[in-house]
Structure 1
Amino acid sequence: MSYGIKAYKSVGVKDDLAVADPHRIIQLLMQGALENMAKAKGHIERKNYAGKSEAISKTMAIIGALQSSLDMKAGGEISENLYSLYEFMLNELSVASREQSQTKIQEVMDLLLTIKSAWDQIPVVDREKGYAMRSSLAQGAA
């Protein structure tokens, strides 16, 4: 890919993040993780182990960020389940990296795609309710 296209895509993502609401940021993080896992699979196929390591490291950092962004108090059982699922994904990616396993990477991709699909379907009205709830909780804590 040419430098100009990479720069354009980078600016596009930065612009998207600059105006994104929390819901959109999570979507972008999930998309970034999926893209990096696809890259890792390609690197394994081409026996580019340095590229594979970099792509899996980026994926693990994103999944770690998703995991740490969970509101365990407000999210209750859903947050607990997602936390465990993200932990499972991190462990599987570690094994996939060590074993050069495209299959394990695909399994993590499938899990994340399921979560992202559900996330993408959250209605705007429910997102707004969530923002309002977080705002009122934050004001109550202050």
Structure 2
Amino acid sequence: MSMLSPADIYKRQQKTPSFDTDNSHQLIKATLEYLVKNLSLMAQKHDQAEVFQTHSARALTSIYVLQSSLDFERGGDIASSLFQLYEYSRQQVLKVMRHDNSGDLEQARHAISEILDAWHQIK
């Protein structure tokens, strides 16, 4: 395991993202892309504990960001449906983390990929 120095961590965090952080549409898109990437990596690297733990933590954080960004008052049924899909994905990640064979990362990745595809069509 390589340990980054505090200076390296700071430098990494200060890098400019490839999107406008003031644009909520781009932030959600980036979060969805990051979630799809981490779900895919989790499915591929489930036998590598350290790598798996890193990607599962990132996936759960992405899901939390997506769930907490929903506006249920203005979003209505769509916001509720998205919350349920995000929650389904969260449950699949947790199942796999607990070595529960009923966890289905591929199904979760597919559901989030469909949301991402729809998000691309919005703007």
Measured against the shorter chain, the TM-score band is 0.7 to 0.9
1:16 corresponding residue in structure 2: 19
Displacement of 1:97: 2.0
Q: Counterpart of 1:87 in structure 2: which amino acid? A: E
**Aligned partners of 1:52, 1:109: CA distance in 2, in Å?**
15
4+ residue stretches of structure 1 with deviation over 6 A?
none
Displacement of 1:87: 1.1
**Equivalences for residues 50-129 of structure 1 within 5 A:** 50-99=50-99, 104-123=104-123
Q: Counterpart of 2:25 in structure 1: which amino acid? A: H
Distance 1:17 1:39, change over 3 A: farther
Structure 2 unaligned regions, length at least 5? 1-10
TM-score normalized by the length of structure 2 = 0.79
**Aligned partners of 2:117, 2:57: CA distance in 1, in Å?**
23
Which structure has the higher relative contact order (CA within 8 Å, separation 6+)? Answer: 2
What root-mean-square deviation, in Å, do the aligned CA atoms of Structure 1 and Structure 2 show? 2.2
TM-score normalized by the length of structure 1 = 0.69
Q: Counterpart of 2:30 in structure 1: which amino acid? A: L
- Which structure shows the bigger proportion of residues in helix conformation? 1
**Aligned partners of 2:88, 2:44: CA distance in 1, in Å?**
22
Displacement of 1:15: 4.4
